[in-house]
């Protein structure tokens, strides 16, 4: 990836993000050992009448977005970068079966934590969070589905984005997002430009995104995607490996 200049953000936390990289290996130090295997399949849990578990979306205290039964016995957490091709590949293979077969059963909740390992991840995260929380996962799915074209368009606007980094805090990300085509991309997917600009003007949000990434990096999460089941790291990040881990945990 080419989008790593700290001047994009002019935030103190960003130099630490340069240590992170898409698909690097690392040990988070949490939940030592493999995900335990459940002796028996866990029972399915039915959502409230007229609703599906995929409709239940909440923002978590850790800054993630969680879909599904909040009391699900199997809690899947992904640290993902919106500009990471490995994360996009996982989403392409696994998002639909994860939602339909696992979250939909009420046995699995899925939390996505946007990990800003590249500078462009900050405005992309700000925009993905700009709509109603119920739209978050659909927007992330669209970002991943269109990632190559979106990042190619962003690269063409890199010079203008670098110049925009010198603007005042409340203007910087508006100009960067415009230069890289992000504002138009989200406008085509239900986030009107005035709404997007209001979100992008909140420099506090950008700082929070960068700070969370630094915190997660300090805890040892130095790759994307990194996934956990009930605080134990999944060894591997392909859909086949995630699916096996979910089934071993009782979602079968």
Mean pLDDT of the chain: 88
Residue ranges covered by each domain of the chain: 19-46+60-248
**Residue 248 scores a pLDDT above 50:** yes
- Spatial strand order in the sheet of 232-233: 57-59, 65-67, 108-114, 74-80, 226-229, 232-233
**Residue 179 scores a pLDDT above 50:** yes
Q: How many other CB atoms sit within 10 Å of the CB of residue 136?
A: 21
**Residue 6 scores a pLDDT above 80:** no
> What is the number of H-type helices and E-type strands within the chain?
11, 8
What is the spatial distance between Cα 109 and Cα 23, in angstroms, rounded to a whole number? 24
- The CATH class of 19-46+60-248 is alpha beta
Percent of the chain with pLDDT over 70: 87
pTM of the model: 0.88
Which one, of 80, 129, 137, 126, lies nearest residue 103 by Cα?
Answer: 137
Give the Å distances, CA to CA, from 134 to 27, 57, 79, 93, 137.
32, 6, 19, 22, 7
Q: What is the mean pLDDT of residues 205-211?
A: 95
Nearby residues of 54 by Cβ (< 8 Å), 6 or more positions away: 67, 68, 99, 100, 103, 104, 137
**Residue 202 scores a pLDDT above 60:** yes
Percent of the chain with pLDDT over 90: 81
pLDDT higher for 79 or 24?
79
Q: How many other CB atoms sit within 10 Å of the CB of residue 213?
A: 27
- 92-151 pLDDT, tens digit per residue, is 999 999 999 999 999 999 999 999 999 999 999 999 999 999 999 999 999 999 999 999
pLDDT of residue 13: 32
């Amino acid at each position: 990836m080419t989008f790593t200049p700290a001047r994009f953000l002019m935030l103190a936390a960003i130099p630490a993000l340069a240590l992170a990289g898409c698909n690097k290996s690392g040990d988070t130090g949490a939940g030592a050992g493999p995900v335990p295997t459940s002796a028996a399949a866990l029972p399915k849990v039915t959502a409230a009448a007229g609703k599906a578990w995929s409709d239940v979306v909440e923002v978590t205290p850790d800054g993630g977005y969680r879909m599904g039964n909040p009391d699900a016995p199997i809690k899947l957490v992904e640290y993902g970068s919106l500009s990471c091709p490995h994360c996009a590949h996982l989403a392409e293979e696994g998002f639909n079966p994860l939602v339909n077969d696992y979250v939909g059963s009420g046995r699995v909740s899925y939390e996505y934590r946007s990990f800003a390992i590249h500078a462009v991840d900050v405005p992309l995260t700000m925009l993905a969070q700009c709509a109603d929380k119920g739209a978050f996962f659909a927007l992330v799915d669209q970002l991943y589905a269109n990632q190559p074209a979106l990042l190619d368009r962003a690269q063409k606007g890199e010079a203008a984005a670098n110049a925009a980094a010198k603007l005042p805090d409340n203007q910087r990300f508006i100009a960067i997002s415009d230069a890289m085509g992000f504002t138009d991309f989200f406008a085509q997917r239900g986030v009107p430009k005035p709404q997007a600009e209001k979100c992008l003007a909140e420099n506090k949000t950008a700082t929070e995104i960068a700070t969370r990434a630094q915190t997660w990096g300090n805890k040892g999460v130095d790759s994307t995607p990194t996934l956990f089941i009930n605080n134990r790291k999944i060894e591997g990040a392909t859909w086949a490996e995630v699916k096996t881990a979910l089934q071993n945990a009782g979602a079968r």
